[in-house]
Chains A and B, each alone.
Chain A
Amino acid sequence: MSRKKERPGGPFGPQKNKNEKFHPALLEELNKAGLNTDSLLYCITGDMDAEQCYSSCWVSFDEKGLYLAFGTEELAKAGKHHTPVTPVFTVKEIRSIPIDDIDSLDTESYLSTGRLILAKDGVQEPVVWFSIGLVGKFADFAKVFNTYKETGEVQLPPEDGHEGSKCKKCGAPCPPGKEYCKKHTKSSATAVRLIKFFGGHVPEITVIVLVMVASSVAQVLIPQISTRSLYDNVLSNPNSLPQAELVKALGTLVLSIVGIRLLNMGLTILQQYMSATIMPKVMYDIKVKIFEAMQRLSVNYYSSKQTGALMDRVMRDANNIYWFFTDGIPRFIIDGATIIGVLVLMIRMNWRLSLVAVAAAPLLLVSIVLGDKLFRRMHHKVWVLSARTGSMLSDNINGQRVIKAFAKEDDEYDKFSAVSKDLRNAEVELAVTEATLFPILDIVVMFLSVFVLGYGGVMVARGDGTMTTGTLLSFIVYLEMLKEPFGFMAWVTNWWSRCADSATRVFEICDADPDITEKENAVSLDNIRGDVKINEVDFEYEPARPVIKNLSLEVKAGDMLGIVGKTGAGKTTIANLISRLYDPKAGSIEIDGVDARDLKLDSLRKNIGLVSQDIYLFIGSIADNIRYAKPDASMDEVIAASKAACAHDYIMKLPDAYETRIGAGGQRLSGGEKQRISIARTIIQNPKILILDEATAAMDTETERNIQHSLQQLSKGRTTISIAHRLSTLRDADYLAVIDHGSIVEYGRFNELIEQKGEFYKLYQIQTEALKTIAINDAAPDTAQGEEENSDERSDN
């Protein structure tokens, strides 16, 4: 592993590591307080003191000692958006501990805090507290310090993204690699990225927007004809026109209205047709982009996110974006154009009356915004209670067997009824409030209309030609027409927030960096022998919680290594590291003498087969699943692999044999049957290195015995690393390693370990005793007896 080694004096220069750079103003303060900052080797910032009180804390060490400085850090008032803030530091106290008084440093994690602890001559002493979010940072500090104590070198930990940076605007924590927290991240950036998805459809989008504007214009024109012209030109003075003229004028008006309505309808159909053809294409692009990004991501990403949440992202978030762009944007354009068009026409018709109407518009907006705030709380309550009801329902359906076994149907009914009642009450409250408050909006518009009617009526009555009856009635219609677009405009920001929220989550996946990456100059091993070497590997899933500690192992090509240990000892982690589903934190794993990180991922994984306890078969036929690793495998190969895996006989008993549909919704298979398919699948893959991770753990003894034969067939001639609880499955191992707390506690051949009478012997004794107790000897004499015979044989060797 190419880790940077820094010599003393390096923490403040430009570097790509996790050593913090103290702010120049802080360095000045520390110097003033008597600390020689030039010699500091490694520094971090904490947030608590030795008494667990919040306080700025700067922890560092040099070749003479460990230093803890306590004080305050105040951020000067932020300037305009994205203007970096200047911190002001005050150092109140510096505590120095001579380096010779410390043997090592360590961290402990509690519920929401952690503590740095020093050890001297086996006696521990607490040093300083910190918030739990800083545990990775302090654990790295302890590690760097301990390495320095041992070797005299400062080995800086690689940047791993454990720690986020602070927002330049408000100082709040923000995700790694981001300069601003989400609060200060502009949603316009998200909008720009979203709009880029429409880049390939600019001509169509332009036409759609024009069509929408035209449709709005047509809509706005209707009152001009249906109300104003009808009243002013025809109905205001019907007796002055001859009958034929009157009919003709009326006919023209009616035909005009029909024409405009038809035109409007035609434009709407055109717009919807064009949107309908573009939006699915854009959504396809977005979904494919998310899916592609998800395939790129490492297993670690999937372990830290719930499957449901990920599915939700792909489906719900994409749909949220879809509906905003399909419904929200067109309405925004149409309503925006309607508001502008109506206002222009109103001003043209009578600017005085328009001013009266426009002056009242803020009143309308304020009522809408206030109403929206109130309804938002209520909608949120309904949403949360509805989600709770949904979860309870799903929990109930999934737990039906247990509910019935414990005869708890009535209790479950009561629980569901109580939650449903809360939801009902919340919905009633919302509906009642809506029913009460919505009319208020109508009342505001009504008063406005009445006022306009009164004021306009006076103008009409004056008869000075400033206002006609038709114009006044058109005004009233236009006011009514403004109500809905104004309401939409007040609400569309929320809709956009939801869409931007979804888009941010989508982009978060697209932007996520996979933990496992392939080097640019990675090599491909076409014909690997299968030597596996694990060199002093350290690994942790969470900061400061090591799972594998300084572990070294070697398996020669074609040999079988058995790994034994208690649950949680780190056995499966070793399998994950060899397959490079994760990278070690320190040390390396070599395949045929080449660091796994220098190998092409494709080349590595094609040569490593994994048969695990968790069998996953995809939706499709049995044959398709068996040839998953090699889709062009012939049926001869599939049948031969199934026979080798002892799967052929039972497959042939199924009505559709190899074409039986399995996976979700398909033929139900037992654990043993599924495992045999997975073994056949691995035989077709033909890997040089085989990892058996508790392959038979979930099976009964008889099935295990059958599967064992399949596994023996599979491991012939391959480097095999077999992880198992049951020692009976490891009888063929050339070597055995006993793992405990991430380290090897025993290593050797079967008989050697038995003779040692150590951990392995204890496990062996326990299992043999257990087998005797549950009378397995009687039920399956071959297995237990075989194992005993086997052990005798080995002991004799």
Chain B
Amino acid sequence: MNDRIIDEERQIIAPETLSTEYVNADSCAFHKSDKGFLAAEINGEKYDRVVLLRALPLTFPDEYICITDVERKELGIIEKISDFSPEQQELINDELSKRYFSPVITEIKSVKEKFGNFYFDVMLGDIKRNFTVKDLTKNIRYHGEGFDLIDVDGNRYRIIDYNGIPAKSRRKLEPYLY
């Protein structure tokens, strides 16, 4: 037995010889359960409730989606959401948008800094919201053309395209954005 193990250990594992098996539209189908949770059938196995997790939530939010059960046991990985049918994509995106809930900032009414805390007064569409970010440089996550701001409670607020928000809003944030 020892000899066999040693032989296996002697084999070189090169990165190019490794590959990840992904689930695709043929091997995986999602549906909503009666109670509104995302359920799935993966490789013939039925799961009443599955959890979707992004491997690269900031840079590739639509790729490398990990499917797990509620105990976080991995059931499979989706390489690209776009490989699925539009109906299936809707289910996947709906679940992901709920798990990675980040309301989008459309306008910055004011940003004030006091004692290292940044007090934001923003518009999320037509909803007014204020929140506090402690140490802006540590609580900002850049992605694509925008960034996420993380407040003192852990809530995330997203600016999808920084250049897309009004210039007046940008001028308010500009002094602190480095």
For B151, the chain A residues whose CB sits under 8 A away are 133
Kindly provide the distance from the CB of B71 to the nearest chain A CB, expressed in whole angstroms: 10
Q: In the complex, which residue of chain B has the Cβ closest to the Cβ of A175?
A: B152
Smallest CB separation, B11 vs chain A (Å): 17
Q: Are A173 and B153 in contact (CB under 8 A)?
A: yes
Q: Which residue in A125, A170, A376, A501 is a CB contact (below 8 Å) of B35?
A: A125
B103 touches A54 (CB 8 A): yes
- Set A110, A113, A377, A387: member contacting B174, Cβ < 8 A: A377
Chain A residue with the shortest CB-CB distance to B54: A111
Chain B residue with the shortest CB-CB distance to A772: B2
Give per-residue flags for A357-393: 1 if the beta carbon is below 8 A from chain B beta carbons, else 0.
0000000000000000100110011001101000000
Q: Bound state CA distance, A497 and B117, in angstroms?
A: 12
In angstroms, Cα B19 to Cα A676, docked, is: 47
In which size bucket is the chain B interface? Answer: 35 or more
On whether the beta carbons of B36 and A125 are closer than 8 Å, the reply is yes
Q: A112-B102, A126-B37 are in contact. Are A381 and B178 (CB under 8 A)?
A: yes
Complex CA distance for A182 and B103, rounded to whole angstroms: 24
Are the C-beta atoms of A112 and B176 separated by less than 8 Å?
A: no
Given A377-B175, A385-B178, do A183 and B156 touch, yes or no (CB 8 Å)? no
Complex Cα gap A181–B100 (Å): 28
Chain A min CB distance to B138 (Å): 10
Flag if A111 contacts B99 (CB, 8 Å): yes
Q: Nearest residue in B to A125 (C-beta to C-beta)?
A: B35
Task: Say yes or no for A481: interface residue by CB 8 A criterion.
Answer: no
How does the 8 Å CB contact mask read for B148-177 relative to A, with 1 for contact and 0 for none? 001111111000000000000000001110
- Contact indicator A380/B176 (Cβ below 8 Å): yes
Contact A773 B101 (CB under 8 A): no
Chain A residues within 8 Å of B115, by CB: 182, 187, 497, 500-501, 504-505
Q: Is B132 an interface residue (CB 8 A)?
A: yes
Contacting residues of chain A (144-201) with chain B, CB-CB under 8 angstroms: 170-173, 181-183, 187
- The answer to whether B129 touches A54, judged by C-beta atoms less than 8 angstroms apart, is yes
Closest to A508 in B: B115
CA distance A181 to B115 in the complex (A): 11
Contacts of A187 in B (CB 8 A): 115
Task: Decide if B101 touches A111 in the complex (CB within 8 Å).
Answer: yes
Contact B2 A773 (CB under 8 A): yes
**Contact of A86 with B by CB under 8 A:** no
At the interface, yes or no: B127 with Cβ under 8 Å from chain A? yes
Contact yes or no, A52 B178, CB < 8 A: no
With A183-B112, A183-B119 as contacts: A132 and B153 at CB distance below 8 Å: yes
- A3 to nearest B CB, angstroms? 27
- Cβ–Cβ < 8 Å partners of B103 in chain A: 54
Q: Is A613 an interface residue (CB 8 A)?
A: no
What separation, in Å, do the CA atoms of A54 and B124 have in the docked complex?
10
Task: Tell me if B49 counts as interface (CB < 8 A to partner A).
Answer: yes
B residues near A123, Cβ cutoff 8 Å = 35
**CA–CA, A384 to B177, complex, Å?**
9
Interface presence of A124 (CB below 8 A): yes
The answer to whether B100 and A111 touch across the interface, beta carbons within 8 angstroms, is yes
Report the separation of the CA atoms of residues A504 and B57 in the bound assembly, to the nearest whole angstrom. Answer: 36
Specify which chain B residues have a CB less than 8 angstroms from the CB of A182 in the assembled complex: 114-115, 117, 119, 132
State how many angstroms separate the Cβ of B61 from the closest Cβ of chain A. Answer: 12
Distance between B136 CB and nearest chain A CB, rounded to angstroms: 9
B43 at interface, CB cutoff 8 A:
no
Which residues on the B side are within 8 Å of A181 (C-beta)?
A: 119, 132
The one of B37, B116, B131 in contact with A501, judged by C-beta atoms closer than 8 angstroms, is B116
CB-based contact B2/A52 at 8 Å:
no
What is the minimal beta-carbon distance from A515 to any residue of chain B, in angstroms? 20
Q: Is A775 an interface residue (CB 8 A)?
A: yes
Give A169 Cβ to nearest chain B Cβ, in Å.
12
A642 CB to closest chain B CB, in angstroms? 41
Q: Which of A131, A173, A183, A387 contacts B114 (CB 8 A)?
A: A183
Q: How far is the CA of A628 from the CA of B115 in the complex (A)?
A: 40
Report the nearest A residue to B153, measured CB to CB.
Answer: A133
**Residues on B with beta carbons closer than 8 Å to the beta carbon of A381:** 178
Q: Pick the contact of B49 from A124, A173, A775 — CB < 8 Å? A: A124
- Bound Cα distance A48, B85 (Å): 31
Decide if B130 is an interface residue (CB 8 Å cutoff): yes
Interface residues of B in 66-117 (CB under 8 A from A): 98-103, 112, 114-117
- B27, CB-defined interface residue at 8 Å: no
Cβ distance A721 to chain B, nearest Cβ, rounded Å: 29
Q: B101 is contacted by which of A52, A170, A172, A497 (Cβ under 8 Å)?
A: A52
Give the distance in Å from the alpha carbon of A123 to the alpha carbon of B33 in the complex.
Answer: 11
Whether, in the assembled complex, B12 has its beta carbon less than 8 Å from a beta carbon of chain A, the answer is no
Which residues of chain B come closer than 8 Å to A183, judged between CB atoms? 112, 114, 117, 119
Inter-chain CA distance A373–B176, complex, in Å, is: 12
Given A52-B98, A111-B99, A504-B115, decide whether A376 and B137 contact each other with a Cβ distance below 8 A. no
Determine if B14 is an interface residue (Cβ-Cβ < 8 Å): no
Identify the interface centre among B37, B103, B114, B152: most chain A CB within 10 Å of its CB: B114
The smallest C-beta distance from B77 to any residue of chain A, in angstroms, reads 19
How many Å lie between the Cα of A54 and that of B5 in the bound state? 57
Complex Cα distance, B3 from A775, in Å, reads 12
A133 and B154 form a contact (CB under 8 A)? yes
B35 touches A132 (CB 8 A): no
A378 CA to B147 CA, complexed, in Å: 21
Across the A-B interface, the 4 shortest Cβ-Cβ residue pairs: A133-B153, A377-B175, A381-B178, A384-B178
- A-B pairs with beta carbons under 8 Å apart, 22 shown: A52-B101, A54-B129, A110-B99, A110-B101, A111-B57, A111-B99, A111-B101, A112-B156, A131-B155, A132-B153, A132-B155, A133-B152, A173-B152, A182-B132, A183-B112, A377-B174, A380-B175, A380-B178, A497-B114, A497-B115, A501-B115, A504-B115
